[in-house]
Amino acid sequence: MAKDDDLKLDETGSPRQTAQDGYETMTTQQGIPVSEDQNHLKAGSPGPMLMDDFHFREKMFHFDHERIPERVVHARGYGARGVFEATEDLSEFTSASVFEKGKKTPVFTRFSTVAGNKGSPDVARDVRGFAVKFYTDEGNWDLVGNNIPVFFIQDAVKFPDLIHAAKPAPDRGFPQAQTAHDNFWDFMSLSPETMHMAMWIMSDRTIPRSFRFMEGFGVHTFRLINAEGKSSFVKFHWKPKQGMQSVVWNEALKLNGADPDFHRRDLWSAIDAGDHPEWELGMQIFDQDFADKFPFDVLDATKIIPEEDVPVRIVGRMTLNENVDNFFAETEQVAFCTQNVVPGIGFTDDPLLQGRNFSYLDTQLKRLGSPNFTRIPVNQPRCPVHTFQQDGHMAMMNPKGRANYEPNSWGTEKGGPREDHERGYKHYPEEVSGPKTFHRSETFADHYSQARQFYVSQSAPEQKHMADALTFELSKVEHEKIRTRMVSHLRNIDEDLAKTVAKGLRLNLPDPAKPAKAPITDLPPSDPLSIVKMNKGTFKGRKLGIYVTDGADAGLLSALKDAVKAEGGMVELVAPMVGGVKLSDGKTMEADQKIDGGPSVLYDAVVLLFSEDGAEMTKNDAPSRDFAADAFAHAKFLGYTEAAMPLLQKAGVAEALDDGCVRLGGADDAKRFVGMLGKLRHWGREPMVDLDG
């Protein structure tokens, strides 16, 4: 077997590796062994190419057709395999076998941004898709949701308009993966139904720290149907076991520059390291009586049901424990359809859900080129499939035998499948009546009450971030009339918020927009709507970045590592050179990052572990100053040795050190510092370092 450091070179000096060195034999797609893959077949030297070279032609043909159309929305995504385990017996509510207590079902989960293309950065301010394909023994169930429980619009007919407005303007082709432009806010300001979603997208929910620290929601109200045919309403929730976490806006901008693949890398690395992310699946289950009494229409996708009104019942857990083998084959080709449900799960008359059920199948046909996209392994059910459907591009599972129709008289052995009146999917027999109109229900008319409830449910730092986000986004809007319209809507949500944004835009406060229905102003705050209020107080799954120099205290470094490991966190070493540092005990330790490529935005908390000589070397280094200054500005917990003070002075933060900054002198200090990290941010610092504070 050839070794990597023992390569044979050809006449051009390039490595030449062959099957004779122990590698597998390369073949064409027809399985024909390939003798030459470095040069194409020529007539003489350097003569013209010969068409006899079928390997070259096949290789180039396949390369020329490698790309398929990207998704119109959710183009930038990342996926992983896993397993779902049901932890509750739900037979009272549903006959779906996936919810039999103790049952384990394979899943594929894809996270994504909505607005950007495949090449856009991960930490753009955007809604995140959270789609899960359950390979149940009754067929595939696709729970196609988002990390936000509501949506912009109430009727699917407006979806093309929404996406067109959010995407780059057609005349100029920009901005990419951003909503800070005229078209988007023009649409929003002219569509009052979007105001609840506007509050969510301007919150920290749209700049998550990681897919692993993100909630997921089915958005719509679905049905559960039990074996007796009784129906209940349900809303689906995914709750991350390690809690929620987001970044601040300035941090997001720098993350996209430092690592535009930040979320992808984070998920891959966590699974690869065996730190498998988990989510609990929760359900809000309620009946028609509750729906009739609830002040909002449960079929309105711009509304939530607060958890205080209907608690979330945890019914199972999902663990993502396998990275994909090939990104294109799985993550890019996975096809989700909201219409894919299994017996025991059904639809409601939510007009947005009904439109999605129509749209998704057509979308997958366009992207994947054939109605046989269900034959692609990532989309194949894991249960038996028997149909009379045949032919089409890439047909791989045509019916066997003579019968490709029914009814037929060929008998049970050769006649093919038939409907199953006992096990087959049964739609809930909901009674339907009424005139055929384009009317939208009057119960959908309240556009501000829950928007206000979401805002008042946030902590003070989160409310500040929302005001900052609205001010920033609207500051990129060129036309004052659009800015004015948006602020007029904000006055129906929260007067102080409207005034703050108007002040930030130097805009005269406009009259409130006229609501279709007077908003309810006394809906109580709901803590589960706040990321900060729901902090679990853990550093598990997070990462401490330790900037270390030659001569740094080896014992202190060891103590920090041990303390972080005990909390379930990770440590990365950043150094002036990636080759590493020589510690106080004389041992050399390799670094994970060079300071130029390892800025503090990559970490949840940081330490400056310097010797005096190391501090002298780094104090005039711009990336080193940024490492300290950004960590402080982003309200992160900061540990430092006394020797690091010259750098902190150069970074302009030495005089402002606060309770979130801990001087590290020994193992006890290290343990105390790491014990603070579960708070994730020292929010009290933020008003001191932010002009908008």
Q: Which residues are catalytic?
A: 74, 146
Q: How far apart are CA 295 and CA 222, in angstroms?
A: 19
* DSSP secondary structure, 437-487, as one string: --PPPGGG---SHHHHHHHHTS-HHHHHHHHHHHHHHHHT---HHHHHHHH
Q: Where would I find the beta strands (DSSP E) of 309-425? A: 313-323, 345-346
Which pairs count as long-range contacts for 8-13, CB under 8 Å and 24+ apart, including other chains?
A: 10/38
Biggest CA pair distance of the chain = 91
The encoded tokens of residue 270 equal 């966590």
Residue positions counted in the chain: 693
- DSSP string computed for 101-119: TT-EEEEEEEEEESSS-TT
- Which long-range contacts (C-beta less than 8 Å, at least 24 apart) are formed by 432-441? 440/154, 440/155, 440/351, 441/297, 441/299
CA geometry: angle 113, 115, 119, nearest 5 deg: 70
Q: In 178-207, which positions are buried (b, 16+ CB within 10 angstroms) versus exposed (e)?
A: bbebebbbbbbbebbbbbbbbbbbbbbbbb
Give the number of other CB atoms < 10 A from CB of residue 210.
Answer: 26
d(C-alpha 585, C-alpha 437), whole Å:
80
Strand pairing partners for 547? 574, 608
The DSSP symbol for 294 reads S
CA dist 83 and 642 (Å) reads 48
Tell me how far apart the alpha carbons of residues 357 and 348 are, in angstroms, rounded to a whole number.
11
Q: Which 3 state secondary structure label does DSSP give 79? A: strand
SS3 state at 685:
helix
Residues 6+ apart with CB under 8 A from 250: 630, 633, 634
Q: Which residues contact 578 (CB under 8 A, 6 or more apart)?
A: 590, 591, 592, 593, 594
